[in-house]
Amino acid sequence: MKRILICGATGFIGRNLLDFYCKNRKYKIRATHFKRPALSEYEDVEWVQCDLRDPQQVSNILKDVDIVMQFAATTTGAKDIVSKPYIHVTDNVIMNSYLLREAFEQGVEHFIFPSCTIMYQKSEKALKEGDYNPADEILPFYYGAGHTKIYLENMCKFYAGLGETKHTVIRHSNLYGPHDKYDLEKSHVTGATVTKVMTSQNGLVTVWGTGEEARDLLYVEDFISFVESAIDKQEDKYQLYNVGLGSGIKIKHLVEKVIQCSGRDLKIKHDLTKPTVPTSLFLNCQKAKKDLGWTPEHSLEEGLIKTIGWYRNEKLFNTRTS
């Protein structure tokens, strides 16, 4: 049985990967955690506390690993993207550089690397992978993080050309679902919106800015199904894929949709003093469909209903156990 390494297994995507692979028992699982404690409820998982900025620790955790799923990162939400844009740069470069080098040196079979879409220009059409032009200026809010991702994408391609490790780079859209961040300081747009809707006490939901910017939102289970498809079906040693729902929704309409799915009677108020990231884009994911047969299975409404149901159950569970 092959062994997978899930880096960042206590985070949003990492924990959903744990849910999936612990249920199907397809692989032996090694999982890293750093500041958060290991999750004891996941049986048969080999937990390793690891600082991925330390090359010796990175070397140790990759021993006897066949597939690396690299979902450890310094992440945050729109507030920090605007006020502290440097926060996504240094640590992410260091940890990924060590992981990629060690995967090459130890002959890991497959390396899964999540990039993002912040290098793309805003657009009213669905963007293909080739629509990124290095000559285009990345938006100021995203400049540091965007160039960090481009550098790491190129490092995946570099190491794929040197050895036998297969590399999958995923330019994914905004993900949402169970185990996401739901505090308003660090959450992304969907998690923040769910929190605002579900905790409103005055009949209002406040939207930062005008809400005219549009986002491509993908339910996390569909993202994981892509990862599984890439492991099973990718033939080339390096591939880069767009992974998203393939359509955009304006933030103000997202708020309306979350209110509708929650069943609550709330009104929307816009706070124009709060930061907003004024970009609109959505993804053309035909390459993933053509190469791997992957398409998302959840509509936005279906994903939101599942997410809100999980949020309600989690809140009720925490209330009972506190």
pLDDT digit string (tens) for 231-270? 999 999 999 999 999 999 999 999 999 999 999 999 999 9
Residue 185 has pLDDT above 50, yes or no: yes
Q: What is the pLDDT of residue 215?
A: 93
**pLDDT by residue (tens digit) across 32-64?**
999 999 999 998 999 999 999 999 999 999 999
The number of beta carbons lying within 10 Å of the beta carbon of residue 190 is: 25
What distance in Å separates the CA atoms of residue 239 and residue 97, rounded to the nearest whole number? 18
| DSSP of 50-79 | --TTSHHHHHHHTTT-SEEEE-------HH
Model-level pTM?
A: 0.92
**pLDDT by residue (tens digit) across 123-170?**
889 999 999 999 999 888 788 889 999 999 999 999 999 999 999 999
Amino acid, single-letter form, for residue 280: S
Strand partners, 67: 4, 110
If you count them, how many residues does the chain have? 322
Strand partners, 168: 112, 239
What distance in Å separates the CA atoms of residue 75 and residue 208, rounded to the nearest whole number? 20
Taking only Cα atoms into account, the Rg of the chain, rounded to an integer number of angstroms, comes to: 19
Q: What is the pLDDT of residue 83?
A: 63
Sorting pLDDT into bands at 50, 70 and 90, what band is 282? very high
**What contacts 313, CB < 8 A, 6 or more positions away?**
none
Residue 75 has pLDDT above 90, yes or no: no
Q: What is the pLDDT of residue 199?
A: 94
- Which token pair is 186? 């660090």
**pLDDT by residue (tens digit) across 285-307?**
999 999 999 999 999 999 999 99
Residue 322 has pLDDT above 70, yes or no: no
**Alpha-carbon torsion, ordered 83, 204, 190, 124, to 10 deg:** -80
What distance in Å separates the CA atoms of residue 307 and residue 189, rounded to the nearest whole number? 13
- Which token pair is 295? 């398409």
Sorting pLDDT into bands at 50, 70 and 90, what band is 321? very low
- Which token pair is 126? 């669905």
**What contacts 166, CB < 8 A, 6 or more positions away?**
109, 110, 111, 160, 234, 236, 237, 238
3-321, CATH topology level: Rossmann fold (3.40.50)
